[in-house]
């Protein structure tokens, strides 16, 4: 019997004929199971087995329930539980140690919570240093006001078995041109293929939304400010599009709101990974100064099922000190950011005046006229 990752099996199967002959029965095991009553009972039995095998203290029902919640957090969803039982066993052992320190014969939910919090504290040194840089002003992040062509995107950093999110300022500039959108990260080879794919979808969105029978005569540049490491993934594509629309429309975008989500050429928001870490990262960054009651994060509606946030963030949302908005389309997000209706085309083919899309289209038309005039001048000069 061989046990290993699927990639290793595929590699061995391809390169070694003996693997095909000797290990021709293959069984795949999922890293998560549905969060159902039977799965909860399985978690309970597993914790009970750890109590007997490792000499841990007994867990009460609330403690087991908190372990189950953490299993859902690891599985990244409210409908699933993780089957990575090594992590669950480690959590149970540490929770038992906290109960022992307090002289309790029973492990409670508070002891499980302590174990979770201290595991984070042992691993979040890089995160703390970045937060200190934000507090000192070395990393520039705005938590209030509004700026044209500037938004707060969200990225996830992984340090071993610990991942955390942090806001990244994304800016956009635009002028007359030949329809080119330029990503500074792409040009400097600081982006991966998936990011490049997501960025190129923005060109398709502009063409489908504003092109029609006319050409898009714009030259725009977008970048992640103060980012010097490799960037990949398409979860910042919506933030880049929000920054671009804000710049083209001349509408200031709220700086107390952070954004995440992939976007397709039709402006539909698509699910991304690490949504809990991203929300909590922006929450912690906002807490550096003060929670104003207006701050929050816009996520794709498809990610609502993945929300398994820390108790602190959940409580802040309940009290109205922090917000989480979900959106299906880029229009919903830009309306929240700019306090301006996005609007749809009327029967005459035009957008209602004063709306986001009308302002963007009007500017693109000015760019087109400027490009035509420049072309005519160059032709006359020849």
Active site residues: 235, 278
What residues form DSSP beta bridges with 322?
none
Q: What is the largest CA-CA distance in the chain?
A: 91
For 349, the 3-state DSSP assignment is coil
Q: Distance between CA atoms of 329 and 238, rounded to whole angstroms?
A: 10
150, two tokens: 């500037």
Residues 80 and 33 sit within 8 Å (Cβ to Cβ)? yes
325 burial via Cβ count (<10 Å: 0-12, 13-18, 19+): middle
Q: What residue spans of 222-355 are helical by DSSP H?
A: 237-249, 275-287, 311-318, 330-338
DSSP string, 42-72: HHHHHHHHHHHHHTPPEE-HHHHHHHHHHHH
Residues 330 and 304 sit within 8 Å (Cβ to Cβ)? no
Please report which helix (H) or strand (E) contains residue 20, including its range: helix 17-22
**Chain centroid to CA 115:** 26
DSSP string, 167-232: EEEEEEEEEESSSEEEEHHHHTT-B-HHHHHHHHHHHHHHIIIIITTS---EEEEEEETT--S-B-
Q: Distance between CA atoms of 34 and 81, rounded to whole angstroms?
A: 6
Check residue 305 and report its DSSP letter. Answer: G
């Amino acid at each position: 019997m061989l046990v290993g990752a699927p990639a290793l099996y595929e590699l061995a199967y391809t390169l070694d004929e003996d693997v095909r002959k000797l290990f021709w029965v293959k069984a795949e095991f999922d890293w998560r199971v549905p969060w159902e009553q039977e799965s909860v009972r399985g978690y309970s039995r597993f914790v009970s087995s750890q109590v007997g095998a490792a000499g841990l203290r007994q867990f009460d029902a609330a403690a087991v329930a908190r372990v189950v919640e953490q299993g859902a957090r690891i599985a990244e969803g409210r409908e699933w539980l993780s089957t990575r039982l090594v992590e669950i066993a480690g959590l149970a052992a540490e929770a038992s140690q906290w109960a022992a320190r307090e002289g309790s014969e029973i492990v409670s939910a508070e002891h499980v919570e302590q174990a979770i919090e201290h595991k984070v504290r042992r691993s979040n040194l890089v995160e703390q240093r970045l937060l200190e840089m934000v507090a000192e002003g070395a990393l520039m992040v705005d938590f209030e006001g509004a700026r044209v062509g500037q938004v707060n995107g969200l990225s996830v950093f992984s340090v071993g078995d610990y991942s955390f999110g942090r806001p990244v300022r994304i800016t956009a500039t635009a002028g007359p041109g030949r329809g080119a959108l330029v990503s500074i990260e792409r040009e400097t080879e600081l982006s991966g293929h998936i990011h490049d794919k997501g960025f190129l979808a923005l060109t398709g969105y502009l063409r489908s939304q504003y092109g029609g029978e006319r050409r898009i005569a714009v030259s725009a540049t977008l970048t992640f400010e103060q980012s010097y490491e490799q960037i990949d993934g398409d979860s910042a594509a919506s933030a880049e599009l929000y920054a671009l629309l804000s710049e083209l429309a001349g509408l200031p975008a709220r700086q107390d709101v952070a954004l995440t989500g992939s976007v397709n050429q039709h402006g539909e928001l698509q699910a991304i990974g690490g949504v809990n870490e991203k929300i909590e990262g922006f929450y912690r960054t906002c807490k550096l100064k003060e929670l104003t009651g207006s701050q929050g994060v816009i996520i794709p509606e498809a990610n609502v099922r993945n929300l398994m946030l820390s108790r602190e963030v959940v409580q802040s949302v309940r009290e109205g000190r922090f917000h989480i908005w979900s959106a299906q389309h880029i229009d919903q997000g830009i309306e929240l950011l700019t306090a301006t209706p996005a609007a749809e085309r009327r029967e005459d083919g035009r957008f209602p005046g004063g709306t986001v899309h009308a302002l963007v289209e009007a500017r693109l038309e000015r760019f087109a006229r400027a490009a035509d005039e420049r072309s005519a001048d160059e032709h006359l000069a020849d």
